[in-house]
Structure 1
Amino acid sequence: MNYLIVVDMQNDFVTGALGTAEAKAIIPYAARRVMKALEKGEEIIFTRDTHSPNYLETQEGRNLPVPHCIWGTEGWEIVPQLNAYTVGRTPIDKHGFGSRYLGAVLKARDEDLKKQGQPGVERATFIGLCTDICVISNVLLVKSFLPEVEIVVDASCCAGVTPESHKNALEAMKACQVIIENG
């Protein structure tokens, strides 16, 4: 089974409080990649950065004092171009950069498939925002849960806080035996 993990493609990271031109630019590529996943029969999992109204009182809020992705707000929602694909899929709300729950879900699915005599999780492809924070955190977390699974990042469907930090994160993941594709 192959998975597409769509990390934090939320309004606040595209057009909101922490939006960037680079994040806006990847939206069409991300939408095409999700459609391709559906055509190929890949399972799709969305994640959402999720904070509470007391965000500024948290460690992250003290280090990045820009309220964003507050639960239930427009900024917290998946971007309109991808939101329709969440129907029938419950996004994983993560309250930090990485989600142990995401890793546990994929590990459990891998074990279930193998118990049924199937190959298990063969490939997990990641797209989304921000390459240098939440994408890299979740990629390495899943890599630790499933060290023998092929982990891929589609760089054309990711954007970092800056273009330089995006490139640095891709290089760091490559050093950790993550496959970096571009389109």
Structure 2
Amino acid sequence: MRKILIVIDMQNDFIDGSLGTKEAEAIVKGVTDKIKEYKKEDVFATMDTHKDSYLKSQEGKNLPVEHCIEDTNGWELHPDISKLIDPENIFKKPSFGSVDLANKMLEISKKEDIEIELVGLCTDICVVSNALLIKAFLPEVKISVDSNCCAGVTVEKHNAALETLRSCQVEIK
């Protein structure tokens, strides 16, 4: 059984930048430790990726805070994390979930049995979106989320997202 780790949006803007929180800062060490438990080729990551026109997008109109603008410092993965992930295993995504990542997991699952664990930010937006998207692509694959290596927009929203994930048969660690 191949065990895969997916690191969701551990980018500077979500940690200590324009949308950062103390909870997000607090999980960085746990996420780096978790990454080191996996073979490097089994670690994948997503990067929230927006253009300069972000505020004109539907998301930007609902969340009018510029963040993760491509090629800015805020867009980059946290330096402790970026050095642990192969660049070819990083998926840029313009929205909450990455169809390209889900397709990659589907491709791998056709060759071998896999389990998938997710960690990262934000539990209630991109973690839940990617976990459920992958679950839709791979309903028979065991998917889990390490709640100690995730943080939500608020503690309450983090906990609500974990309940939603449980309801959708994603294991919460």
TM bracket, shorter-chain basis: over 0.9
1:110 CA drift (Å): 1.2
Normalising by structure 1, we get a TM-score of 0.91
Match of 1:160 among 136, 142, 152: 152
Structure 2: how far apart are the matches of 1:100 and 1:11? Answer: 23
Of structures 1 and 2, the larger Rg is shown by: 1
Structure 2: how far apart are the matches of 1:107 and 1:121? Answer: 11
Structure 1: how far apart are the matches of 2:133 and 2:115? Answer: 15
Residues 1:169 and 2:154 are matched in the alignment: no
Q: Which residue of 2 aligns with 1:179?
A: 171
Local SS of the residue matching 1:108? helix
Provide Cα deviations, 1:110-160, integer angstroms capped at 9, x if missing partner: 11x1xxxxxx24210000000000000000000000000000000010000
1:90 CA drift (Å): 3.9
CA contact (8 A) 2:68 2:75 kept: yes
1:42 CA drift (Å): 6.5
Structure 1: where are the runs of 5+ without partners? 114-119
Match of 1:126 among 93, 97, 118: 118
Q: Which residue of 2 aligns with 1:116?
A: none
How many positions carry a matched residue from both structures? 172
1:88 CA drift (Å): 4.7
Q: How does 1:1-183 map to 2 (within 5 A)?
A: 1-38=2-39, 43-111=42-110, 113=111, 120-181=112-173
Structure 2: how far apart are the matches of 1:24 and 1:102? Answer: 25
Normalising by structure 2, we get a TM-score of 0.96
Structure 2: how far apart are the matches of 1:7 and 1:71? Answer: 16
CA contact (8 A) 1:106 1:121 kept: no
After TM superposition, where is structure 1 displaced by more than 6 Å over at least 4 residues in a row? none
Fraction of identical pairs, as percent: 47
Residue 27 of structure 2 aligns with an amino acid whose one-letter code is I
Structure 2: where are the runs of 5+ without partners? none
1:48 CA drift (Å): 0.1
1:108 CA drift (Å): 1.1
CA contact (8 A) 2:123 2:150 kept: yes
Structure 1: how far apart are the matches of 2:69 and 2:26? Answer: 24
Residue 122 of structure 2 aligns with an amino acid whose one-letter code is C
Q: CA RMSD in A?
A: 1.2
